[in-house]
Structure 1
Amino acid sequence: MDRHAQTGAPGQTAERAFNRISKFFRWIMAAPLLIAWILGYYGGAKLHYGVNDAETAQKIWAITTDKSIAALTIFLIVARSAWRATHRPPALDAAMPPRMQRATHLGHFALYLLMIAVPL
């Protein structure tokens, strides 16, 4: 079955596609979160204060950059949340069991909470 098929014929389902801006927000959020996670790990686990001046400077750079990315991420979360509040996502597949639909909504809610909690 063609994944771009429209609903109408028996056995066909509509594609659940997000618009371009929603996709942009998804990927523009992924990059800084991944970079911040790598910097946080590198700065927290691999670098130490007082070992030598170069390592201390690297640790300060990693922490400062991580905080800057967190500030950018918070701005992007506000913009994404405003977009999400004014633009509904595509409907879930009607054939999906109600329990799975609730789990999907709870999962998305949890992701938004984590996107806010992690940078803070």
Structure 2
Amino acid sequence: QFIQFRNLDFEDNKRTCTTQFGRPFDCSRYTGDLATLNLNNGMNKAYKNKEFYSLFLSKPFGPSDEHRWNNIVMYEEGGGFWNRFDMEYSFTDNLIGTAEWNHYWGDEDSQFGQFKDSSNIQVGIRYLFD
């Protein structure tokens, strides 16, 4: 799958200004990347068109295909990645066990890369009422 965020308010104007003492400095004006904008990365500049690519795989398993595993991998322009692997196991028609692993990595100035320390594993049980 291909996803593109189009920034309709994008601005990138390069400009040099001069102080009262004649020293030049950069006073360019640009749109910041809202997902990663912070002082540590120099107020990260946004993309006019930011692109994401994903690959989704899913497969039922078990004697009558009552269980399922899914995996989605996403790449974002700028070097961020996210991988989510999850599994559903049906104990009965109403009781389902779940497990998932979310792994983030890549450039720390990207939307997914900044979450690298937030990778996690989750387990749960769902009950479906009739």
Instruction: Compare the two structures and name the one with the higher strand fraction.
Output: 2
Q: TM-score higher than 0.5 here?
A: no
The structure whose Rg is larger is 2
Q: What band does the TM-score fall into relative to the shorter chain?
A: under 0.3
TM-score by length of 1: 0.26
